[in-house]
Amino acid sequence: MITRRRALTLASSAALSACAPRDSNRVTWWAMGTTGENAPILLPPFTRTTGIDVDLQAVPWTGAHEKLLTGFAGGSLPDVMMLNTGWLPELNLLGALTAPPPALLTGHLPGANAAVTIAGRAYAVPWTADSWVQFYRRDLIAEVDYPAPPLDWAEWTRMAQAIVRRHPDRFATLHLLDWPEPLFAYAAQTGEPFLRDRAGRGNFRSPGFRAALAFYKQVFDLKLSPRVTGAEAGDTYIGLRRGWFAILPSDAVFLGDARRPEHRIVPGSWGAAATPGPRGAGAAMARGTCLAVSRTARDPAAAWRLVAFLTGADLQRQIFGITGDLPTRSRAWTMLPPDPVTRLFATQIADSVAPPAVPEWERITSEVQQVAEAMVRGRLGVDAAAAEMDARVDRILAKRRWLLDRGRIT
């Protein structure tokens, strides 16, 4: 595994290779996940209009973060990068990015622009917005006399227990132990910040996070979800289609995947509800992707033309139709079908909170989820797990505190 320090060391030795000439009139682009697989559909109009060819590489989300760090270390980053917005602070700290023209930031949802802004300056252009909701089987929820999953934790638990009583060989939901998103989605509902002391220490012993942690643990203690990882669970869409569980927490990728032949879930058989909170649905955790231009881009103007094309309202609407990825431009939202699922995402994204803009956030979520898994497996109680999370995160942030104390960062 490559670390940020290793990346910086290797980057120095790769500086000369980064200066090597590249093909003229060509922009290189790494695009991730399903969007990357479908990106060739989007590009012909751009090339016809501009005369700029795009050398596209589709990269699976698995391993994408390490590939970016390796690319930086080896001086082989593409001109344009599709990024999880959570990775932006880390790549900015490395000096891998260049700031976008201000004109490209107009017309986006406020939360989307906030997610690409670090210390008051944007380093990428928002591309897709997202949030986690509950997708559910209408028939299995109706069997226990609920029209939809309740939005407060207490009633949600009563509904889930009723499903398990009716189907003792099945589960109410699927919370994969290597997915940190459900836990952080519950915690975001409480309004407690994840970090404290100028983002120099963990805040996981706060009353809000411990309440979310207790609810998360209860899901497993009551056998409402199996204790499995993604590799053990197999295809989650097939599990939902077969009724192995009734509720699947997921982001908007569900909308595209549910239409794919290998996953196909019958339209009308499923619905979506907001993430439950302690006293009803509250703020959601902001998620999404952005497009950034490498500091070593051979032709930054051409790279930004590609970003401008891809982040336009018409393209964002087109991407929604292909993959289900939700737009960041306000005008694009007016072009989407006015169905309840779209309105749900619009409401939840509008009322979202951005994760802490620290380069260590990716590592922090991984460490917190590892401790949460140990708790679920019975090795820690809630208070001990919260204390262990704070201890690990404080160690991760030690260098940040050192820099804060000396005024090197703000």
Which 3 state secondary structure label does DSSP give 325?
A: coil
- Name the DSSP letter for residue 274: P
What pTM was estimated for this model as a whole?
Answer: 0.81
pLDDT at 263: 63
Helical ranges in 95-242 per DSSP H: 110-115, 138-142, 153-166, 181-188, 207-221, 230-233, 236-241
Task: Write out the two tokens for 215.
Answer: 């609810």
pLDDT at 115: 85
What confidence tens digit (pLDDT) does each residue in 229-282 have?
Answer: 988 988 899 899 999 999 999 988 888 788 777 667 788 889 999 999 999 888
pLDDT < 50 positions in the chain: 1-3, 7-21
Q: What string of DSSP letters covers 334-375? A: TTS---HHHHHHHHHHHTEEPPP--TTHHHHHHHHHHHHHHH
pLDDT at 18: 44
Residue with tokens 């409480």: 190
